[in-house]
Amino acid sequence: MAQKRTLRDKVASLLELPGDVLLNSSRITLVGAKELWIENHRGLHEYTTDRVVLAVPEGRLTITGDALNIGAISPDQLTLMGSIRTILYSD
């Protein structure tokens, strides 16, 4: 079943803009398995050395791994360092 395209989807496509710019989506960049950049997050819900949970516009983002630590954090961007095992989206 095809999803209904919203006006934002159409505008982003027409203007050839990245989806995260107009669609209020998070952008995740994984560098190897040692560094993760999350842009457009909505806050930190849980932080341990083996699990990090963030609020993102799409729901929640759970990252698991070993020796996880926050390299940098700002109101909308977070850099996570360590041995990253899994990245999971949930509602």
Q: Which residues contact 54 (CB under 8 A, 6 or more apart)?
A: 38, 41, 42, 43, 44, 45, 60, 61, 63, 78
What is the per-residue pLDDT for 1?
43
What is the per-residue pLDDT for 91?
85
For 26-90, the fitting CATH number among 2.30.110.10, 2.60.40.2000, 3.40.50.2300, 3.40.50.300 is 2.60.40.2000
Rounded to whole angstroms, the Cα distance separating 11 from 61 reads 27
What digits encode the pLDDT tens for the residues 22-73?
557 889 999 999 999 999 999 999 999 999 999 998 899 999 999 999 999 9
Rounded to whole angstroms, the Cα distance separating 5 from 44 reads 30
Residue count (the chain):
91
What is the per-residue pLDDT for 20?
52
Q: Name the residue ranges covered by the structural domains of the chain.
A: 26-90
| pTM for this prediction | 0.75
